[in-house]
C-alpha cells in the first residue's frame, strides 16, 4: 500500500533521534508535551527530554479497565487511550476570558486574558486524536472564533503525529475512518518501528514548519525497505482493532431512537459521573462563570469544562430540562454519534475508546450502538389492534 504521506521519508534513530527532536523543539521556543508514565497511567505533560517518554510501556485496556504493562520492546508510543487527551492544552479546563474594572461613572473596559507564554509542540498525537483536534478546530477554532484563546493556541501549536502500529483492545478508529494512519493536519508524522535489535522511526513532514525541523536534525532518508515495513505495520494495525462500530447511518439511527428501550437499560448502569466527557478528546462543552471581588468593581469571566451529564447543565426556568439519567446519557451518545453531524458536519467520535476504558461501570458505546441498531431492526410498530 502506498504511503499517503507526501514527500521524502526520513529515518530517525529512536533514542538519539527523539532526543535531538525534543532539543530542537525546545531551542525553537516550544514547550514539548508528550506522553509520560505517571501514577499508573500514561498521561500527557511537558517533557524536557525524550528520556521522559514511556519507553517500553504498553497498556491493557478493557471496559472500565486500564493497566500499564511492560512491553517486550522499548517502544515509546506503544500505548493508547490514556485518561487525558490533547484537548486540555488547546481547550484548557479553566480559562480566564477577560477581566474588567468598573470606573466611578460605571463604565467598564475589559482586558483580555494574558496570552500563553510559549507555543506548544505535541509529540505523539495518534491519528484518532489528530482528527479530534480537527473536529474541535471546527467548533472552537479560527473560522468561527478567530479571536478565541483556542484559535491563538492552535495557530502556534506544532503537531507531531505518530501512526498507530498497536491498537488497543478498545480501539475502533478504522470504524470511524480516523486511523490507524494519519492523513492530514500534522506538521510531522512518525511511524515507530521497534522490535528485537531495532528501534527507529520513519518521519515525514506535513508542513513548512515540519520541514524546517527535520532539516535541522540532519537525517538520512529512510531506506525503501524500512518505509515498506513501517507502512505494513500500520496496515496490519488496521486489521487488529479491538472493537468495531458500524458507523454508517448513525445520524438517522439515533434520530429515530429517541424512545428506544435501550436507553433505560444503559441508564440503569450509567452513574452520570461524566468521566466519558472528560476523557473524550472531542467533548468541548464549557460553563461560563462571572464573578466579582468584594468591592464589586472588578469582575472576571471564566470558562471551565462542563459536562452534559451535570444535573444543571440544561437548567431552565427553575429546573433541568434533562433531569433523568436516561435523558442525559441519551443526550451524550446521540450528540456524539448523531446530532454532531447536524451541528458540525461530521461525527463527534474518533474511535479512540477512552470512554469505554474510563467508564467506571464499563459502558461500551460500540455495544450500545449495536443494541440500538438491533432494537430498531427488530422493532414492532407498537400499534393497537
Distance, in Å, from the CA atom of 179 to the CA atom of 156, rounded to the nearest integer, reads 24
How many residues contact other proteins, by CB under 8 A?
A: 58
- Residue 324 engages other proteins in binding (rule: CB under 8 A): yes
- Residue 143 engages other proteins in binding (rule: CB under 8 A): no
- Residue 140 engages other proteins in binding (rule: CB under 8 A): yes
Distance, in Å, from the CA atom of 304 to the CA atom of 328, rounded to the nearest integer, reads 20
Distance, in Å, from the CA atom of 35 to the CA atom of 126, rounded to the nearest integer, reads 11
Stretch of 38-46, 159-167, 187-195, 302-310 contacting other proteins, by CB under 8 A = 302-310
Task: Determine phi and psi for 225, rounding to 5 degrees.
Answer: -70, -35
Instruction: By CB under 8 A, name the one of 36, 79, 153, 322 that touches other proteins.
Output: 322
Stretch of 36-44, 61-69, 218-226, 329-337 contacting other proteins, by CB under 8 A = 329-337
Instruction: By CB under 8 A, name the one of 2, 290, 377, 383 that touches other proteins.
Output: 290
- Residue 339 engages other proteins in binding (rule: CB under 8 A): yes
Distance, in Å, from the CA atom of 300 to the CA atom of 139, rounded to the nearest integer, reads 24
Beta strands 10-13 and 220-221: pairing type? antiparallel
Residue 371's H or E segment, with its range, is helix 365-377
- Residue 288 engages other proteins in binding (rule: CB under 8 A): yes
Residue with cell 508510543: 77
- Residue 335 engages other proteins in binding (rule: CB under 8 A): yes
- Residue 97 engages other proteins in binding (rule: CB under 8 A): yes
Distance, in Å, from the CA atom of 155 to the CA atom of 74, rounded to the nearest integer, reads 33
Residues 205-244, one symbol each (x = binds other proteins by CB under 8 A, - = not), give ----------------------------------------
- Residue 291 engages other proteins in binding (rule: CB under 8 A): yes
Distance (Å) of CA 281 to CA 173, 212, 298: 13, 29, 34
Distance, in Å, from the CA atom of 329 to the CA atom of 291, rounded to the nearest integer, reads 31
Stretch of 6-14, 125-133, 147-155, 189-197 contacting other proteins, by CB under 8 A = 147-155
Residue with cell 467598564: 108
Enumerate binding residues for other proteins (CB under 8 A).
97-98, 100, 102, 106-110, 112-113, 139-140, 144-149, 255, 258-259, 284-288, 290-292, 296, 298-299, 301, 303, 306, 308, 313-324, 326-327, 331, 334-335, 338-339, 342-343
Amino acid at each position: 500500500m502506498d504511503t499517503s504521506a507526501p514527500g521524502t521519508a526520513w529515518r530517525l534513530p529512536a533514542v538519539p533521534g527523539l532526543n535531538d527532536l525534543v532539543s530542537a523543539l525546545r531551542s525553537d521556543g516550544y514547550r514539548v508535551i508528550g506522553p509520560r508514565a505517571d501514577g499508573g497511567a500514561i498521561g500527557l505533560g511537558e517533557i524536557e527530554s525524550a528520556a521522559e517518554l514511556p519507553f517500553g510501556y504498553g497498556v491493557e485496556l478493557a471496559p472500565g479497565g486500564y493497566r500499564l504493562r511492560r512491553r517486550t520492546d522499548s517502544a515509546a508510543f506503544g500505548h493508547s487511550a490514556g485518561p487525558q487527551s490533547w484537548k486540555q492544552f488547546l481547550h484548557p479546563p479553566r480559562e480566564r476570558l477577560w477581566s474588567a474594572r468598573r470606573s466611578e461613572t460605571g463604565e467598564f473596559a475589559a482586558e483580555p486574558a494574558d496570552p500563553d507564554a510559549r507555543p506548544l509542540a505535541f509529540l505523539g498525537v495518534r491519528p484518532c486524536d489528530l482528527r479530534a483536534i480537527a473536529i474541535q478546530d471546527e467548533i472552537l477554532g479560527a473560522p468561527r472564533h478567530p479571536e478565541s484563546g483556542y484559535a491563538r493556541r492552535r495557530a502556534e501549536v506544532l503537531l507531531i503525529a505518530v501512526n498507530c502500529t498497536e491498537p488497543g483492545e478498545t480501539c475502533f478508529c478504522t470504524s470511524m475512518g480516523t486511523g490507524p494512519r494519519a492523513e492530514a493536519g500534522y506538521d510531522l508524522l512518525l511511524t515507530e518501528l521497534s522490535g528485537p535489535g531495532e528501534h527507529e522511526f520513519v518521519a515525514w513532514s506535513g508542513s513548512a514548519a515540519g520541514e524546517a525541523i527535520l532539516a535541522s536534525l540532519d537525517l538520512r532518508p529512510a531506506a525503501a525497505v524500512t518505509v515498506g515495513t513501517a507502512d505494513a505495520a500500520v496496515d496490519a494495525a488496521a486489521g487488529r482493532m479491538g472493537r468495531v462500530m458500524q458507523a454508517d447511518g448513525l445520524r438517522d439511527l439515533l434520530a429515530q431512537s429517541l424512545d428506544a428501550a435501550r436507553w433505560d437499560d444503559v441508564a440503569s448502569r450509567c452513574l452520570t459521573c461524566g468521566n466519558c466527557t472528560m476523557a473524550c478528546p472531542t467533548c468541548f462543552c464549557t460553563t461560563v462563570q462571572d464573578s466579582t471581588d468584594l468591592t464589586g468593581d472588578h469582575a472576571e469571566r471564566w470558562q471551565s469544562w462542563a459536562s452534559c451529564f451535570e444535573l444543571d447543565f440544561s437548567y431552565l426556568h427553575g429546573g433541568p430540562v434533562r433531569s433523568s439519567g436516561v435523558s442525559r446519557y441519551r443526550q451524550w451518545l446521540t450528540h456524539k454519534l448523531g446530532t454532531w453531524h447536524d451541528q458540525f458536519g461530521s461525527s463527534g467520535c474518533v474511535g479512540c475508546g477512552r470512554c469505554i476504558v474510563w467508564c467506571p461501570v464499563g459502558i461500551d458505546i460500540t455495544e450500545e450502538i449495536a443494541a440500538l441498531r438491533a432494537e430498531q431492526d427488530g422493532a414492532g410498530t407498537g400499534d393497537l389492534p
